[in-house]
């Protein structure tokens, strides 16, 4: 007689839906609130650079997680994914802080670069909305040991999350002269 008890499967779907909606709503709300310059005692224009740094680390951690899982090293993969979630969370705190304290910066490049910038920015924004529930579903399926379901969604999550973190840095580099 084996003493194996099945792993209790938790349903994170309501949590994922709630977090996704709240997060997107809060970020969208920042663009509709009246803009003002708040006095906080330090130069808040450092926050966009901090956002780019967090996005850079997220990108690196995701690449390392991808390499680890290709080598079938699940523990290392899980650790790098958790680090990517951590830097993404820190990015979100910094992003919301900056945009709640300052007006959005206008892009000042010429016509050709302006089209490239807005394409990258728009694709970044749209895919960042998509990546929230995808990343949360991927990680909860992984922790619930739903390996096949995790693999199916992770095939979409990983490239989109890599794109979003990379283009976050690219957007910063393109707009940083105008802060």
Residue 103, helix vs strand vs coil: coil
Q: What is the pLDDT of residues 35-78, one digit of tens each?
A: 666 577 888 889 999 999 999 999 999 999 999 999 999 999 99
Q: What are phi and psi of 94, to 5 degrees?
A: -65, -40
Predicted model pTM = 0.87
Tell me how far the alpha carbon of residue 14 is from its chain's centroid. Answer: 20
Domain residue spans of the chain = 46-178
Q: Where does the pLDDT of residue 1 fall: very low under 50, low under 70, confident under 90, or very high at 90 and above?
A: very low
Show the tokens assigned to 16: 């994922």
Q: Please say if the pLDDT value at position 34 is more than 70.
A: no
Question: Tens digits of per-residue pLDDT, 79-104?
Answer: 999 999 999 999 999 999 998 888 88
Residue 2 is predicted with a pLDDT of 45
Report the distance separating Cα 105 and Cα 179, nearest Å.
6
Q: Which residue has the higher pLDDT, 118 or 35?
A: 118
What is the distance between the alpha carbons of residues 31 and 127, in angstroms, rounded to a whole number?
18
Which tokens is 102 given?
Answer: 């300052």
Query: 89-97: long-range contacts (C-beta < 8 A, 24 or more apart)?
Result: 90/54, 91/51, 91/54, 91/55, 91/58, 91/168, 92/23, 94/47, 94/50, 94/51, 94/54, 95/27, 95/47, 95/51, 96/26, 96/27, 96/30, 97/44, 97/47
pLDDT of residue 29: 86
Do 61 and 80 form a contact (C-beta atoms < 8 A)?
yes
Task: Say how many residues make up the chain.
Answer: 179
- Helices and strands in the chain: count of H runs, count of E runs: 5, 0
């Amino acid at each position: 007689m084996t003493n194996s008890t099945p792993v209790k499967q938790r349903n994170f779907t309501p949590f994922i839906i709630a977090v996704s909606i709240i997060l997107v709503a809060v970020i969208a709300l920042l663009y509709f609130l009246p803009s003002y310059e708040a006095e906080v005692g330090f130069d808040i224009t450092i926050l966009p650079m901090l956002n780019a740094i967090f996005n850079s680390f997220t990108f690196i951690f995701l690449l390392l997680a991808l390499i680890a899982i290709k080598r079938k090293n699940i523990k290392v993969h899980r650790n790098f994914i958790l680090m990517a979630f951590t830097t993404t969370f820190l990015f979100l705190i910094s992003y919301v802080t900056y945009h709640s304290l300052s007006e959005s910066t206008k892009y000042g490049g010429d016509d050709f670069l302006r089209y490239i910038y807005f394409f990258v920015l728009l694709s970044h924004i749209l895919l960042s909305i998509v990546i929230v529930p995808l990343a949360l579903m991927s990680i909860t399926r992984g922790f619930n040991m739903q390996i096949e379901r995790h693999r199916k969604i992770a095939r979409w999550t990983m490239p989109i999350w890599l794109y979003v973190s990379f283009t976050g840095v690219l957007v910063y580099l393109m707009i940083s002269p105008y802060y």
